[in-house]
Structure 1
């Protein structure tokens, strides 16, 4: 991320200067792997999109042939078996993967958006410490963080010490808005009292706009953004981020965006998909026609629908030929109705 992004500036620069770390600045996204090999980086901060690309690249090579796939799965199972007895051979067994990233990478910290827990687990299975955190610029920027010795891959993390994180306005499923109070929370927006009053309540709690719940172990589980929620016809909340994560687990889907389209007094859950053409061509041949690609994407959507309750079902699939427009933190820009 660029240094003007609070996540990168605080966690990737200021904290590292404080700790006396050497800092390697990436020359650009296309050079990130060569730069990691040159600098022998031990810790890297990434956004989900980057970790997803790392993961897809590893898995596509590991499963290129049936023989390689069997070998990879055997190695993973063997590592888990040995770990049960306190023997860690992951870096040796997956040496080739580690050398791709310079051979010294021990910790990947992911933040900026939600990520598929399976991706985290896969990276951990190969011997990479992999944790995620949650925060906002207004909170300097961390509210919750998984620890290397205490983590939950489905969670954004545990609240930082002396930071009071609560969930308010809960629905019937216990999901509500996260609010937080602590020394890390801003005093207000510069010369914008109206925005400050909307964000900070009279008790000094910052209203994040993020929805979720706190589990029995104290981990913050985020289900989505308040302004992204789709209200189904039955009045139930549909969190597009949940469905997008499930869709992006498909090898054939590079990026996607789920939205609710109002039509004839109904809300049509729509998935707009940018396919991974490299994987599509492996399945359909070098020159697949549009109908074949559409059918393949609809089949992938059907698989996801089987794991969703009826009111969350995707009823329309739209294919796009270009990547989505993104922010500097690599989040897809959503279009909001005024």
Structure 2
């Protein structure tokens, strides 16, 4: 059976109307909306939107931070039969106006907290609806009469713009059926419970959080908690106050939490107790010991779902030792977004899990190790990019398979394993494939390395551009400042020590890599450029290295 988003939400309200739906962390504690209150506010705002004129299918853009106001506005736009166009709060006015024009949005709902709000006001041709004013007046809006349009499962519900790690954003139109078929399949796999509390950390303007972090819990009667900010202390407080049980996240956030737990770990006898617990106790007990002695509220966590980027083996192993195995999944915005995900309670290490029952995957042009491009068919897959037939033609095979641009293979259990992005693969002069993620994993095993990025870039020696094998495998690392201070506070002020450290990190990784995979050189950066969803922007790293190579060769 095919559903619309409002139909699934209405079913939840009927079953769980009195249960909490949304928690917002405030200075006073948690402000909570029940499902019944949420439904009333959404309907009131939806009637107001419908009364402003226009017709079903009109695009309405939304710029707001994560929280109940965003949720009410987003669901109201959809219930009014309009198409939601969620935009990132970090977008500049030029980016916003460009996407508003491309989507042909008839209106923009914008939060007063958008940092460039005054610049948007300089564009009188754009109809703007202040989000906080609408929410404040939502009860008064309940008096608006008139029917709401009935959406069809095949109608467009959301137009998502991919952030990507390079290139211009592309519009991904998702129908009600694209989204609901995917959300239902993921729910069947993850088994959300009405007693669960999901912590929202990723931007709601992105497909993973909007579909899996919002709609999946809402159609199952669970609650969602929104921290006041992404400050570590406020996230931890929100987890404690809401009694968080489930998180959807990306590797960058998992890395942050792992470091936070480590920094809070006690010394002395308590440290020995934690060490014993991690070695001896079953996972269900380990996390309670870690929670008690480290002060991190992870004792109630029953699931951490991770996607969006490659998860390094070491980072996954850290969480396994804490008794919190990561539930890896795989997907992309264009696929609705989830294609595969592990089973709660028994995830497989370094696997994105079994395919969802609704998904088909085949590996195109596999190499000798069985690694090739992942092709997908699913009810969740988009029909094509919005107003971009050229990109659509390049993204689908003639027989309708979505070309993901990701590389992977199936393991012996038939589970999908992701190796990386096909466009990131480095092909050596001898025609051998080098997967950056594999080298990055080796570099990040060094105790002083916090993050690594490997790309193919030009290098110079003695003022001349290297010619052998064309551009070379090159690494950029970000060091762990806390560990550097513990190791040698003066290290970064001594050029010889820095050079020795670089040599040691590189030699340590190269000793465990085949000769053709070894980086020709390495640089230390203070940070790597990343997208809002935590992905390293390799193209920007590559571009910076190329610019420096040109400058050195001049």
TM-superposed CA distance for 1:73, in Å, is 2.9
Matches within 5 A, 1:1-338: 1-30=202-231, 31-62=234-265, 70-80=272-282, 88-96=284-292, 99-101=295-297, 103-262=299-458, 263-266=466-469, 267-285=471-489, 288-291=492-495, 292-320=497-525, 322-335=526-539
Bigger shift: 227-236 or 8-17? Answer: 227-236
Distance 1:188 1:226 in 2: 20
Bigger shift: 140-149 or 286-295? Answer: 286-295
Q: What is the TM-score when the length of structure 2 is the normalising length?
A: 0.56
Distance 1:152 1:96 in 2: 27
Q: What is the TM-score when the length of structure 1 is the normalising length?
A: 0.90
Alignment RMSD (CA, Å) = 2.3
Bigger shift: 256-265 or 12-21? Answer: 256-265
TM-superposed CA distance for 1:113, in Å, is 0.5
Alignment partner of 1:159: what SS? coil
Equivalent residue pairs, number? 330
Distance 2:434 2:274 in 1: 36
TM-superposed CA distance for 1:18, in Å, is 0.6
Distance 1:90 1:14 in 2: 31
Alignment check: 8 A CA contact 1:37 1:101 kept? yes
Distance 2:531 2:288 in 1: 38
Distance 1:224 1:211 in 2: 5
List per-residue Cα deviations over 1:282-318 (Å, max 9, x = no partner): 1112564242234223312221211111111122111
List per-residue Cα deviations over 1:58-112 (Å, max 9, x = no partner): 23554x76866554332222115xx7xxxx5324432326741264222111111
Inter-CA distance 97–138: structure 2 relative to 1 (3 Å threshold)? farther
TM-superposed CA distance for 1:49, in Å, is 0.5
Q: Which structure 1 segments of 5+ residues have no match?
A: none
Q: Which structure 2 segments of 5+ residues have no match?
A: 1-201, 459-465, 547-554
The runs of 4+ residues in structure 1 deviating greater than 3 Å are 59-62, 64-72
Inter-CA distance 190–92: structure 2 relative to 1 (3 Å threshold)? closer
Alignment check: 8 A CA contact 2:329 2:340 kept? yes
Distance 2:478 2:456 in 1: 18
Alignment check: 8 A CA contact 1:224 1:239 kept? yes
Alignment check: 8 A CA contact 1:38 1:102 kept? no
Distance 1:70 1:99 in 2: 16
